[in-house]
Every structure is written in C-alpha cells, then in structure tokens.
Amino acid sequence: MSEQTPPPGPGSSAPDPGQGPVVDAPEPAEALAEVAASSPPDPEIPENLSGRGRFLLQSITEGNSFTVTVLAIFSALVVGGLINAFSNTTVLHAWSHPFSGHALAELWDTATGAYVALFEGSIVNPHTVSALFQQASISTAVHNGYLSAVFNPLSETCVAATPLILAGLAVALPYQAGLFNIGGQSQFIGGAIVATYLGYGVSMPVVIHVVVCVIGGFVGGAAIGWATGELKARTGAHEVIVTIMLNYIMAYFLTYLLSFHYLMQAPGNANPISAAIASDAHLPLLFGSHLRINASFLIALACAAAIAWLLTRTTTGFEFRSIGKNASASRVAGMNVERNWVLVMLIAGGLAGLAGSAVIQGTDFTLNNQSFGTYGIDAITVALLGRGKPLGVVWAALLFGALRAGAPLMQAATGTPVEMVDVLQAVIVLFVAAPPLVRSIYRLRAARAGGVGLSFSKGWNS
C-alpha cells in the first residue's frame, strides 16, 4: 500500500536514515553501527590474521545474523516439541482436564522425551557410556565394541551429514556467484553413476581404485553442472529452470540405466539396482569396522575448507563474489562473467557428485533408483541455514545429520514417528527464512538490510 511506503533507501526494515545521515563528514552512530556489524571496525586486525582467522572474525562480527539463526533453531525446537506433544494421544487424553498438573507433566514428558531420544541417537547415549565403565578392562571394552557403541551416535551423525555438507556446498558456492543451483539431485546422480560404474566395472590396484572412483564422482557431477553453466552462458537459459529439468532427466536416465542388464543393472537381479562396487573401491573406515564413519567425512570437511579458501583468498573467489553481488560492474571491470558462471557450476556439480560418491563408496555400495534420496532439496535447506557460507554449511549439515541419525532411536524409544524430524527441519527453515519474525519474538534490534531469506529469494531474479 502506498500510504505505507517504506522509507527511501536500500530496502531496510529499520527506519532508514536515508540520504541525510550517511554523509561525508561525521558518520552518524547508526551508520557506523551498521558498518561495524558487517566489517571489522579496525582495518588492521583482519589483514594480519590468517585466512581462517579472518573468516572466523567475520562470522563473529556478523553476530546478529548468527544469533538469529540460533534463536530460529531454538524456536523451532519449541514449536516442534509442542506439535509433537499435541499429536500424541496420551497427551491429548490428559488434556481433557487441561489445568491439572498431570496434563502439563504429560506435555513436558512427551516433548522432552523425544528430544532426549533424539540426542541419544545422534550425540551420545548414557547407557552405552555406563556399559563401557562396567567392563572389566579397557581392552575387553574396545575389543567387544563397547567403546564403539559410545561413539556410534556421533559416527552416524557424521555419516548422515557428509552428503549434506557436500551437496550444501554445491548450493552455497553458486549462491555466492549469484546463481541458484537447484540441481543438486541431478549432479548427485551424475557423480553416483560414474563412481558406481568405476567401482564395479573396472579393476584397479587397491589405493588407486578408491581414488579414481572419488575423482570419477566429482567428474560425473561436474559434467552435469558444466552443462547448466554452459547453457546459461551461451543461451541465457535460467539456471533454475535448467537444473530442475536436469533433475528429472537424470532421475529417469538413472532408472533407464538400472533397467537393463547390459547397462548397469546387477546381473540376475530383477530390481533396478546395480552390482555392488568392489571392496577396494570402498572408502576406508576411520575408526574400525564397528563405526560407519569413513573418509568421505574428511573429504567433505576438506571441501568446505577449500571452498572457504577459494572464496576469500583467491582471485577466482573474488570474481565469483563480485559477479554474485553485481554482475554488471564485474563485467565493466573486465571480468568474464559467462566463463565464471560455467566454472562455478562445474565446481558445484563436482561437489554434488562427490556427495554421490560418498553415499555409494561410503555406506551404500550399490546404486539404485532411489539412491539420490532428497539430498538435492535438503542441500538448499542446508545452504539456507548455513547462510551460504562454507563453515555455516558444515554446521547446518551436522545439525540435519544429527536429526536424521537420531530419528530411528526416537521412534523406537518414544514412539514418535520419524517424520517428526522432517517437521522439525521444516519449522527450522520457516524460522530461518523469516528473520523479522525471530527478531520480533525475541525483541532484537534489526540488523543490516537483507536477511538470508531475502537474499536467497533474490536469487530468482539474478
């Protein structure tokens, strides 16, 4: 409504001081505060620190947004708990007498019980710890797998987080360059197909085989990503449309490959499933045979670190970020915008392909027509939650990994359906995508213009 036209200025939700205070001579305190919120106040500090230090500093100085994310997760847990409790028949029954202590106690028990089970399934279970200390000696404890049992929840969390980190990076990196990669799924499939084929169809020496398969996963995904970038660069086809379409194409292509024995279907099997990859193509386990955590987790962390380095410390990253923020000015400054689009989509596709390789070579060992799961879509959520930054993606992926890892125990122990985790994820995203809502709940002062949700939605117009 025009009567409620916002103040002039760059779409700030705060009363914008407008042209007035953002001045040459004395900067107003508010403008200074805004500047301070987004950049280190002392220019000399960050330059003397290492890249990682600078990155950390940035994350801390952008504290307002970080606080909002944490509060969003907290709010989601509260709302999720309430949803959980009020969908539980015991609780509803107790609430036929709403003001009795019994009703509240049931509510509390149900809500917290699910979370406790979730925690035990994803971080650490006290029962396994006490079982460990009841063993006669350390050696028997280790030998009989009691030690592994303690770390199993964490291991499962990492295993679930690994493909999310990689696929999340595949969304976050193009986002920094102004592209919205919805094609995590197709790139994942591309990587998984190549990794699987190299895994069972080719025989190679021990160490080389697994490395070749991982590289193959990267290449398979990168090819799909490259196609998207090339189409955009040459014809201007919007990457959102192209990636969505490629998701369908690759999903059906995978089904096709798995439908014929002379293609990729396992010999003698009627189901759409490939042969198992050779054992020397398996990614090595990190902590013995009882824990599923494997080298792909390290690959994922290394990729996150590499992307962070690429973005902040290299000329390539400088070009990516510059093009993401203002493609027109970047072109005037002599950057080849189209070539960068192709490059960033190629790298992103490779990262999503690595996610495929992690799943095939790390845990599944066979490829079926459902292997891609919902990684492509979850990756967008993870990147959103991680505010498009590599480190943020790692944390977000670990959180979602923990939710996934803990869900089975939660169902077993409390009868809460596994789908509760999906509800929780959805509510987290709702809160993260609406920073003004979180701010108003907790009465936080508005930060600089443009929350994560806002900047992500801008991706559609870029």
Partner 1 sequence: MELELKGITKRFGSLVANDRIDLSVAPGQVHALLGENGAGKSTLMNVLYGLLQPDEGEILLDGKPAKFRSPNDAIAAGIGMVHQHFMLVPVFTVADNVTLGIEETGLSSLRDTRLGHSLPAFADFLASFTKLSGVLDRRRTRRDVGELSRRYGLELDPDAVVEDLPVGIQQRVEIVKALVRNATVLILDEPTAVLTPAETDDLFRIIKELKAGGTSIVFISHKLKEVQTIADTITVLRRGAVVGQRPPSATEDELAALMVGRNVQLRVSKEPAKPGDVVLDVSDLTVAGHDGRVWVNGLSFQVRAGEILGVAGVQGNGQTELCEALMGLRPTISGHVRLDGHDLTHATPSQRLEAGLAYVPEDRQEDGLVGDFSVADNMVLDQYYRPPFASGINLHLGAIAENAAELVKEFDVRTSSAQAPVGTLSGGNQQKVILARELGRDHKVLVASQPTRGLDVGSIEFVHKRIVQQRDHGVAVLIVSAELDEIYALADRIAVMYEGKITGFRPPDVPAEELGLLMAGASDEAAGPFTGRPQTETAIPAPGAGTSGAGQ
Q: How far apart are CA 291 and CA 150, in angstroms?
A: 10
DSSP β-bridge partners for residue 273: 368
Q: Using the rule CB under 8 A, which residue among 82, 207, 329, 412 binds partner 1?
A: 329
Residue pair 378/171 in contact by the 8 Å Cβ criterion? no
Asked if 270 touches partner 1 (CB under 8 A), the answer is no
Asked if 236 touches partner 1 (CB under 8 A), the answer is no
Asked if 330 touches partner 1 (CB under 8 A), the answer is yes
- State which of positions 128-147 bind partner 1 (CB under 8 A): none
Asked if 22 touches partner 1 (CB under 8 A), the answer is yes
Please, what is the minimum distance in Å from the beta carbon of residue 37 to partner 1? 10
Please, what is the minimum distance in Å from the beta carbon of residue 63 to partner 1? 16
Please, what is the minimum distance in Å from the beta carbon of residue 11 to partner 1? 10
Please, what is the minimum distance in Å from the beta carbon of residue 222 to partner 1? 18
Q: Using the rule CB under 8 A, which residue among 328, 443, 445, 461 binds partner 1?
A: 328
Q: What angle do CA 133, 136, 141 make, to 5 degrees?
A: 65
Q: Give the residue among 284, 279, 297, 289 at the shortest CA–CA distance from 159.
A: 297
Range in contact with partner 1 (rule: CB under 8 A) among 129-137, 207-215, 319-327, 370-378: 319-327
Range in contact with partner 1 (rule: CB under 8 A) among 80-88, 195-203, 312-320, 432-440: 312-320
Q: How many CA atoms lie within 13 A of 194 on its CB side?
A: 26
Total binding residues toward partner 1, as defined by CB under 8 A? 62
Q: What angle do CA 193, 270, 159 make, to 5 degrees?
A: 45
Instruction: Report the residue number, 327 or 420, with the smaller CB distance to partner 1.
Output: 327
Q: Using the rule CB under 8 A, which residue among 97, 261, 325, 458 binds partner 1?
A: 325
DSSP β-bridge partners for residue 285: 294
Range in contact with partner 1 (rule: CB under 8 A) among 102-110, 161-169, 251-259, 313-321: 313-321
Q: Give the residue among 339, 90, 64 at the shortest CA–CA distance from 226.
A: 339
Range in contact with partner 1 (rule: CB under 8 A) among 25-33, 220-228, 233-241, 348-356: 25-33
Q: How far apart are CA 50 and CA 359, in angstroms?
A: 33
Q: What is the CA radius of gyration of the chain?
A: 24
Residue pair 351/167 in contact by the 8 Å Cβ criterion? yes
Residues, the chain: 462
Q: Using the rule CB under 8 A, which residue among 322, 368, 371, 414 binds partner 1?
A: 322
Instruction: Report the residue number, 87 or 462, with the smaller CB distance to partner 1.
Output: 462
Q: Using the rule CB under 8 A, which residue among 13, 14, 17, 64 binds partner 1?
A: 17
DSSP string, 118-184: HHHHHT--HHHHHHHHTSS-HHHHHHTTHHHHHHHHHHHHHHHHHHHHHHHHHHHHHHHTT----TH
Q: How far apart are CA 161 and CA 140, in angstroms?
A: 31
For 87, the 3-state DSSP assignment is coil
Instruction: Report the residue number, 38 or 269, with the smaller CB distance to partner 1.
Output: 38
Task: For residue 445, count CB atoms less than 10 angstroms from its CB and return exposed for 0-12, middle for 13-18, buried for 19 or more.
Answer: exposed
Q: Using the rule CB under 8 A, which residue among 105, 333, 418, 441 binds partner 1?
A: 333
Please, what is the minimum distance in Å from the beta carbon of residue 42 to partner 1? 7
Q: Using the rule CB under 8 A, which residue among 14, 21, 95, 144 binds partner 1?
A: 21
Please, what is the minimum distance in Å from the beta carbon of residue 429 to partner 1? 24
- State which of positions 30-49 bind partner 1 (CB under 8 A): 30-35, 38-44, 46-48
Q: Using the rule CB under 8 A, which residue among 134, 139, 235, 315 binds partner 1?
A: 315
Residue pair 449/13 in contact by the 8 Å Cβ criterion? yes
DSSP β-bridge partners for residue 56: none
For 73, the 3-state DSSP assignment is helix
Please, what is the minimum distance in Å from the beta carbon of residue 460 to partner 1? 15
Residue with tokens 């590499």: 306
Please, what is the minimum distance in Å from the beta carbon of residue 273 to partner 1? 42
Residue with tokens 């890892």: 405
Instruction: Report the residue number, 47 or 99, with the smaller CB distance to partner 1.
Output: 47
Please, what is the minimum distance in Å from the beta carbon of residue 48 to partner 1? 8
Asked if 235 touches partner 1 (CB under 8 A), the answer is no
Q: How far apart are CA 196 and CA 236, in angstroms?
A: 33
For 293, the 3-state DSSP assignment is coil
The residues that touch partner 1, with contacts defined as CB under 8 A, are 1-10, 15, 17-35, 38-44, 46-48, 54, 312-319, 321-322, 325-326, 328-336
